[in-house]
Amino acid sequence: MIRRKAILSIVIAGVIGAGLLWWGRSGAFRSLPEVDGVRARRGTLEVALPVTGTFETVSSILSFEPPGRLGRVTVREGQAVRRGDLLASLDAVDLQALVDQAEAAGRAATSDASRARAAVETARQQAAQAEAAYHAAQAQLAQLRAGPRASELRQADAAVESASSARDQARRSLEVQERLYREGAISQTQLDAARAQYQSADAAYRQVLAQRDALRAGSRPEAITIAQEQVRQAEASWRAALANVRQSQALVASAQAHAEQAAAAARTARARAAQGHLRAPFEGFVGRIYLHAGAAVGPGVPVLSIVSASGWVTADVDESDIGRARIGQVARTTADAYPGVVLTGRVTEIARQVDIKVGTRTVRVRVDVAGRAEMRAGTSVDVDLILQTVPDALLAPLEAVIAAENGDAHVYVIDAGILRRRAVVVGAANDVDMSIVRGVREGEVLAIADPAVLRDGQRVRVRSKR
């Protein structure tokens, strides 16, 4: 029984297969409507406002400030340069000679100023010594005028008594030594020592006695006169020393001013020497070289030009669309002249006025391009101002989505060669794709054809799949 059922199934399958083969070989299959199939896919949807514009760069024509003769040009036209790169130099011989001369004068002036400051210090020390001598002379004069004090007299009497006692003791000792010498008990040397000790004690006594007598006699008029003259001389010396200090300080100020002038002259010479080199003011490319080594140059004489490596785009946005542009908005720039080159940037300026031309009303927008740009200044470009970015969106081609007048939308999903009408909820769209919010699954194949020939349940032949 089971075997009979299996045989029957095989027969039925064969009949069906033969029927399909006949149908396919007949014109029936070939007469089915043809559609293109596109799979719904995940991706990022960007909605952009397309505008046209012009790519622009910074261009700078460079020349030397000091006049001279062009020594060398170190770059060639079209060469890439970085900011600060050496481009050209004047003949450096004359410029370096001026620098060396100015620096030597500056060193000499600085040395003169140092010596002047040292002279001031010496003059101050001399003035301090003269002042001390003046005060000492005044003190001596005052002491002479005041005469001796009672305490000084008592000290002088005590010194005389002490010296007299020492002399008497030395005399007695000498008498003893003389007797012993006569008796042969001591040598001549010992006797001489006793005599020397007595003589020293006698001299000391006479000295302190004279000092006491002079102290008791008081200051003589001639001594006071001499002391007064010494005070006047000391004061004159002090005043002269102070005048010397002031004169030395004036010399320091003059020497310092001269040193500063010399230093300024050296800085000027170095600055002029630095101006004898042309360096790239920014990163970019050498545009044109106007002069070569040996040419006479000076202020305003063009030597070469530099074009910036980075740039910006100026685009004209229609007045009706300007509300969709905003500062900081991402923009992508392309140009027919540079296939495959895409420059990314951001909107940095939006003009405050409308440019009115024949038949147009536009607003100027600036887009600063990030990084180096390979485009030449003046290139016509197409700019997409990115209005909206939808990440991980389910995307379908615009041709696959059929919209009704009431805002509803639907697609036709191809299921085993049969169209299935599917209502969908759509989101953002650009010129190519539309995001499907609900109604379609990723990977499903959507039909693209004339909507007038599509209907639910219709069998179709898929011409191509994407």
Q: Is residue 12 part of a domain?
A: yes
Angle formed at CA 49 by CA 47 and CA 54, multiple of 5 degrees: 135
Query: Are 414 and 445 members of one domain?
Result: yes
Query: Are 440 and 451 members of one domain?
Result: yes
Q: Is residue 425 part of a domain?
A: yes
Residue 339 to residue 370: CA distance in whole angstroms: 18
Q: Is residue 251 part of a domain?
A: no
Query: Are 17 and 37 members of one domain?
Result: no
- Token pair 């896919």 is at which residue? 41
Maximum CA extent, the chain: 185
Query: Are 40 and 12 members of one domain?
Result: no
pTM over 0.75: no
The amino acid sitting at 325 is A
Q: Is residue 296 part of a domain?
A: no
Q: From the CB of residue 212, how many other CB atoms can be counted at a distance below 10 Å? A: 20
Q: How far is CA 233 from CA 94, 131, 354, in A?
A: 60, 11, 94
Q: How far is CA 97 from CA 64, 91, 270, in A?
A: 18, 11, 11
Residue 338 to residue 209: CA distance in whole angstroms: 123
Q: Is residue 356 part of a domain?
A: no
Decide: 167 and 202 in contact? Cβ < 8 Å: yes
Q: Is residue 40 part of a domain?
A: yes
Q: Is residue 412 part of a domain?
A: yes
Q: Domain range spanning residue 1? A: 1-31
Per-residue model confidence (pLDDT) at position 147: 60
Decide: 310 and 374 in contact? Cβ < 8 Å: no
Decide: 417 and 3 in contact? Cβ < 8 Å: no
CATH classification of the domain holding 451? 2.40.420.20
Residue 87 to residue 288: CA distance in whole angstroms: 12
- Ordered per-residue pLDDT tens for the chain, 466 residues: 333 333 334 333 443 444 444 344 444 445 788 999 999 999 999 999 999 999 999 889 999 888 888 989 999 998 999 999 999 998 876 566 667 777 777 778 788 878 878 887 888 888 888 888 878 878 777 766 666 566 777 888 898 899 899 999 989 998 998 998 888 888 888 888 888 898 988 998 898 888 777 666 655 677 678 777 888 888 888 888 888 888 888 888 888 887 888 788 777 767 676 678 899 999 999 989 999 998 998 888 999 999 988 889 999 999 999 999 999 999 999 999 999 999 999 999 999 999 998 888 999 999 999 877 778 888 999 999 999 999 999 999 999 999 888 889 999 999 999 999 999 999 999 989 999 999 999 999 999 999 988 999 999 999 877 7
Q: Is residue 110 part of a domain?
A: no
Query: Are 451 and 417 members of one domain?
Result: yes
CB neighbours of 439 closer than 8 A, spacing ≥ 6?
410, 411, 422, 423, 424, 425
Query: Are 23 and 40 members of one domain?
Result: no
How many domains does the chain divide into? 2
Do β-strands 34-39 and 461-465 pair in parallel, antiparallel, or remain unpaired?
parallel
